[in-house]
């Protein structure tokens, strides 16, 4: 099959951002006067967006100092007051969405509807935690050591200063959505956004301040990860990281040396299982979103597809035909379904993986080439068949608009091959709802979506999200996503009798009494 991909007529690049806005956002960075600067360029056409300071370890030190001072006052404010600020932020995100979407698109090259997904997720996260934080954080009565005599209460105290290192692929939601629960738990935040996308993170910080967040509570430092990551880890009380598994291992070692907690969402090579009883039309549409949202630059997007033999010869041609009809282009309109890659480095990875697979025998069903006529960093959505071990594409995360399709005899083989990876971030199953739900627990992944690609599990904010195996440590979202930013403290008040021998009681007698009590309590349920 060859590609005759439909393109949008609007392939013009986005208009430059307002210089006054760019300067105002750059002013939010914590940096000493006179620092060197680094430039941000639009992937659409290489146009200069603006400059931010190149921060140093001394700037990190100052950012943490300011944040730590502000955190003491913030933690003393009632949780309900903090929640009201985050609800105002939710409203501002929605009200100011045109400007936020423009900044996000110009800086990342993604299609507008993908930028909107980011904005919507950040707003939904703020809303969820603003309503649920009081429940998650409230002091909780626990079963005491001696029923009726020990009153035990669990409290949650903020860690202090939380460091967040966010990536370039979702620079709005992965900066804000990890910071929101940290803030509501009473912490301050020091954010280091990726060097390629500082302004998207900064516009979110500006909206938080407009919503009423104390300015000093949320600090931002900009620069390269290897220069700023280690000094940040040396100073903060907890670290949240999203990025590659390779970098995640380095960060884990650095955090371990200080004995501070960390959470990390890392790489993925996510599978999709297409089973014989799926709804073919819905599966084709869902597969396009699962594979090519954000040009495939999504930690939880699908890169491997296992299709049951009974449906393979119907599904694959329909899927390829739909991919060939995708609308691809740049600009700030809503027409394109897929935008640009973010950088030449990312384009090079995609080209290398596809070229290596083809050289070793894989077949291109559609796509398989860059599109410089659309922009320097565009690459066609690509479907490959015949990908096997020994090809980079089989095992390594591509992080681009490429998916490998494979025929399997049945669901059991699909599950086996889906689990044949060092990663375990996300998976997708297309089948009847009942059958899909029965198969899902067999998949070794932190989230599994049935009849959806990734959004159903990701957007279920009350439930934890994260990776198994080499795909991460810890969870974001839900109760786990806020309590990880807390220190748990147990306060136990003993009444009437001690937890130990009564004065004057012989120790042997005490042991016999406790043995009888332990046997009597064996079947007593733990209640609070």
Cα 294 to Cα 288: distance, rounded to the nearest angstrom: 11
List where CATH 3.40.605.10 sits in the chain.
26-266+479-486
The architecture CATH gives domain 26-266+479-486: 3-Layer(aba) Sandwich (3.40)
Stretches where the chain sits below pLDDT 70 are 1-15, 526-528
| Alpha carbon separation from 49 to 41, 87, 265, 479 (Å, rounded) | 5, 30, 29, 38
List where CATH 3.40.309.10 sits in the chain.
272-466
The single residue of 299, 303, 308, 337 carrying the catalytic annotation is 299
| Alpha carbon separation from 204 to 103, 173, 394 (Å, rounded) | 10, 9, 37
Name the CATH superfamily, with its identifier, for domain 272-466.
Aldehyde Dehydrogenase; Chain A, domain 2 (3.40.309.10)
E strand or H helix at 274: strand 270-274
Q: Is 299 a catalytic residue?
A: yes
Task: Say if CB 206 and CB 150 are below 8 A apart.
Answer: no
Whose tokens are 């949008």? That residue is 8
Q: pLDDT value at position 484?
A: 98
Q: Is 265 a catalytic residue?
A: yes
Whose tokens are 């049935």? That residue is 450
The single residue of 107, 118, 216, 265 carrying the catalytic annotation is 265
Token pair belonging to 466: 């994260």
Cα 14 to Cα 228: distance, rounded to the nearest angstrom: 31
Strand 150-158 relative to strand 486-494, pairing:
antiparallel
Q: pLDDT value at position 6?
A: 47
Whose tokens are 């009423």? That residue is 212
Angle, helices 225-233 vs 57-75, to 10°: value is: 40
């Amino acid at each position: 099959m060859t590609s005759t991909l439909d393109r949008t007529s609007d392939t013009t690049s986005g208009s430059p951002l307002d210089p006054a806005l760019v300067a105002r956002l750059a002013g939010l960075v914590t940096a000493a006067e006179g620092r060197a600067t680094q430039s941000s360029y639009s992937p659409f056409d290489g146009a200069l967006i603006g400059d931010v300071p190149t921060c140093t370890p001394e700037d990190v030190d100052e950012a943490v100092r300011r944040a730590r001072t502000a955190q003491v006052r913030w933690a003393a404010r009632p949780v309900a007051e903090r929640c009201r600020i985050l609800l105002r932020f939710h409203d501002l995100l929605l009200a100011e969405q045109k400007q936020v979407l423009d900044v996000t698109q110009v800086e990342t090259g993604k299609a507008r509807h993908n930028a909107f997904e980011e904005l919507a997720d950040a707003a939904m996260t703020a809303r969820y935690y603003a309503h649920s934080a009081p429940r998650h954080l409230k002091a909780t009565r626990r079963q005491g050591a001696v029923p009726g005599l020990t009153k035990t209460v669990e409290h949650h105290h903020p860690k202090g200063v939380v460091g967040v290192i966010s990536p370039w692929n979702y620079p709005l939601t992965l900066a804000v959505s990890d910071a929101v629960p940290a803030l509501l738990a009473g912490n301050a935040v020091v954010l280091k956004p990726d060097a390629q996308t500082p302004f998207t993170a900064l516009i979110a910080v500006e909206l938080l301040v407009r919503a009423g967040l104390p300015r000093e509570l949320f600090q931002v430092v900009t620069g390269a990860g290897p220069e700023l990551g280690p000094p940040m880890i040396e100073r903060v009380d907890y670290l949240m990281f999203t990025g590659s598994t390779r970098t995640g291992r380095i960060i884990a070692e650095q955090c371990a040396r200080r004995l501070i907690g960390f959470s990390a969402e890392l790489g993925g090579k996510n599978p999709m299982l297409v089973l014989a009883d799926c709804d073919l039309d819905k599966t084709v549409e869902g597969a396009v979103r699962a594979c090519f949202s954000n040009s495939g630059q999504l930690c939880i997007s699908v890169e491997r597809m296992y299709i049951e033999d009974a449906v393979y010869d119907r599904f694959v041609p329909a899927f390829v035909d739909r991919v060939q009809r995708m609308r691809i282009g740049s600009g700030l309109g809503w027409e394109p379904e897929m935008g640009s890659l973010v950088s030449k480095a990312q384009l090079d990875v995609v080209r290398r993986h596809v070229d290596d697979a083809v050289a070793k025998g894989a077949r291109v069903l559609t796509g398989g080439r860059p599109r410089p006529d659309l922009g320097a960093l565009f690459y066609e959505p690509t479907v490959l068949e015949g990908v096997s071990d020994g090809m980079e594409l089989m095992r390594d995360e591509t992080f681009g608009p490429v998916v490998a399709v494979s025929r399997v005899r049945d669901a059991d083989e699909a599950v086996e091959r889906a689990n044949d990876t060092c990663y375990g971030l996300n998976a997708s199953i297309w089948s009847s709802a009942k059958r899909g739900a029965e198969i899902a627990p067999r998949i070794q992944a932190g989230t599994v979506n049935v009849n959806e690609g990734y959004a159903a599990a990701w957007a279920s904010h009350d439930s934890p999200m994260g990776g198994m195996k080499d795909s991460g440590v810890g969870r974001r979202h839900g109760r786990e996503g806020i309590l990880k930013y807390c220190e748990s403290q147990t306060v136990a008040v003993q009444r009437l009798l001690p937890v130990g021998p009564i004065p004057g009681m012989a120790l042997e007698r005490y042991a016999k009494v406790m043995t009888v009590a332990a046997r009597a309590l064996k079947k007593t349920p733990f209640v609070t």
